[in-house]
Structure 1
Amino acid sequence: MKKIIRNGKIVTASDVYKADILIENEKISAIGINLNAEGAEIIDAAGSYIFPGGIDPHTHLDMPFGGTVTKDDFETGTIGAAYGGTTTIIDFCLTEKGEPLKKAIDVWHEKSRDKAVIDYSFHLMISEINEDVLNEIPKVVEEEGITSFKVFMAYKNVFQADDETLFRTLVTAKEHGALVMVHAENGDVIDYLTKKALVEGKTEPIYHALTRPPEIEGEATGRAAQLAGLANSQLYVVHVSCQDAAEKIIEARKKGFEVWGETCPQYLVLDQSYMEKPDFEGAKYVWSPPLREKHHQDFLWNALKSGQLQTIGSDQCSFDFKGQKDLGREDFTKIPNGGPMIEDRMSILFSEGVMKDRITLNQFVDITATRAAKLFGLYPQKGTIAVGSDADLVIFDPSVKRVLSAETHHTAVDYSAFEGMEITGEPVTVLSRGSFVIKNKHFVGEPGKGNYLKRSKYGKESKIRVEELSL
Structure 2
Amino acid sequence: MKKVIKNGTVVTATDTYQADILIENGTIHQIGHNLPSNDAEVIDATGKFVFPGGIDPHTHLDMPFGGTVTKDDFETGTIAAAFGGTTTVIDFCLTNKGEPLKNSIKVWHDKSKEKAVIDYSFHLMIGEINDQVLEELPTIMKEEGITSFKVFMAYKNVFQADDETLFRTLLAAKEHGALVMVHAENGDVIDFLTKKALELNQTDPIYHALTRPPEVEGEATGRAATLTGLADSQLYVVHVSCAEAARKIAEARSKGIDIWGETCPQYLVLDQSYLEKPNFEGAKYVWSPPLREKWNQDVLWNALKTGELQTIGSDQCSFDFDGQKSLGKGDFSKIPNGGPIIEDRLSILFSEGVKKGRISLNQFVDITSTKVAKLFGLYPKKGTIAVGTDADIVIFDPNVERTISAKTHHMAVDYNAFEGMEVIGEPVSVLSRGEFVIRDKAFIGTIGGGKYIKRARYGKTLETENNSVPI
TM-score range, shorter chain: over 0.9
**Match of residue 363 from structure 1:** 363
- For 2:375, the aligned partner's letter is L
SS in 2 for 1:189: helix
Quote how far apart the aligned CAs of 1:149 are: 0.1
Q: Deviations over 1:311-338 (max 9, x none)?
A: 0000000000000000001100000000
- For 1:271, the aligned partner's letter is D
Quote how far apart the aligned CAs of 1:433 are: 0.2
* Aligned residue runs from structure 1 range 66-465, under 5 A: 66-460=66-460, 464=470
- For 2:383, the aligned partner's letter is G
- For 1:336, the aligned partner's letter is P
8 Å Cα contact 2:397-2:427 kept in structure 1: yes
Q: Deviations over 1:45-85 (max 9, x none)?
A: 00000000000000000000000000000000000000000
- For 1:347, the aligned partner's letter is S
- For 2:35, the aligned partner's letter is L
Structure 1 residues not aligned, in runs of 5+: 466-471
Give the Cα separation in 1 of the matches to 2:19 and 2:109. 38
Moved segments of 4+, more than 2 Å? 460-465
Q: Deviations over 1:424-443 (max 9, x none)?
A: 00100000000000000000
Give the Cα separation in 2 of the matches to 1:31 and 1:266. 36
Give the Cα separation in 2 of the matches to 1:336 and 1:327. 8
Give the Cα separation in 2 of the matches to 1:308 and 1:459. 19
Quote how far apart the aligned CAs of 1:460 are: 4.6
SS in 2 for 1:7: strand
Q: Deviations over 1:359-384 (max 9, x none)?
A: 00000000000000000000000000
Give the Cα separation in 2 of the matches to 1:363 and 1:274. 29
Give the Cα separation in 1 of the matches to 2:362 and 2:175. 34
Q: Deviations over 1:121-152 (max 9, x none)?
A: 00000000000000000011111000000000
Quote how far apart the aligned CAs of 1:37 are: 4.1
**Match of residue 62 from structure 1:** 62
**Match of residue 469 from structure 1:** none
Distance 1:153 1:346, change over 3 A: same
- For 1:72, the aligned partner's letter is D
SS in 2 for 1:57: strand
SS in 1 for 2:389: coil
Give the Cα separation in 2 of the matches to 1:237 and 1:283. 25
8 Å Cα contact 2:377-2:460 kept in structure 1: no
- For 1:90, the aligned partner's letter is I
Quote how far apart the aligned CAs of 1:463 are: 6.6
- For 1:17, the aligned partner's letter is Y
Quote how far apart the aligned CAs of 1:464 are: 4.2
- For 2:445, the aligned partner's letter is G
Q: Deviations over 1:88-110 (max 9, x none)?
A: 00000000000000000000000
RMSD of aligned residue pairs (Cα, Å):
0.8
Quote how far apart the aligned CAs of 1:423 are: 0.4
- For 2:21, the aligned partner's letter is I
- For 2:270, the aligned partner's letter is L
Q: Deviations over 1:136-171 (max 9, x none)?
A: 000111110000000000000000000000000000
Q: Deviations over 1:218-272 (max 9, x none)?
A: 0000000000000000000000000000000000000000000000000000000
Quote how far apart the aligned CAs of 1:38 are: 2.6
- For 1:99, the aligned partner's letter is E
- For 2:411, the aligned partner's letter is T
Give the Cα separation in 2 of the matches to 1:39 and 1:440. 22
Structure 2 residues not aligned, in runs of 5+: 462-467
Quote how far apart the aligned CAs of 1:459 are: 1.7
- For 2:190, the aligned partner's letter is I
Give the Cα separation in 1 of the matches to 2:379 and 2:114. 25
Q: Deviations over 1:184-227 (max 9, x none)?
A: 00000000000000000000000000000000000000000000
SS in 2 for 1:260: strand
Quote how far apart the aligned CAs of 1:397 are: 0.2
Give the Cα separation in 1 of the matches to 2:43 and 2:329. 50
- For 1:317, the aligned partner's letter is C
SS in 2 for 1:247: helix
Moved more, 453-462 or 289-298: 453-462
- For 2:293, the aligned partner's letter is E
Q: Deviations over 1:374-427 (max 9, x none)?
A: 000000000000000000000000000100000000010000000000000010
- For 1:65, the aligned partner's letter is F
SS in 1 for 2:173: helix
SS in 1 for 2:75: helix
Give the Cα separation in 2 of the matches to 1:227 and 1:426. 41
SS in 2 for 1:427: strand
**Match of residue 468 from structure 1:** none
Q: Deviations over 1:336-364 (max 9, x none)?
A: 00000000000000000000000000000
- For 1:373, the aligned partner's letter is A
- For 1:408, the aligned partner's letter is T
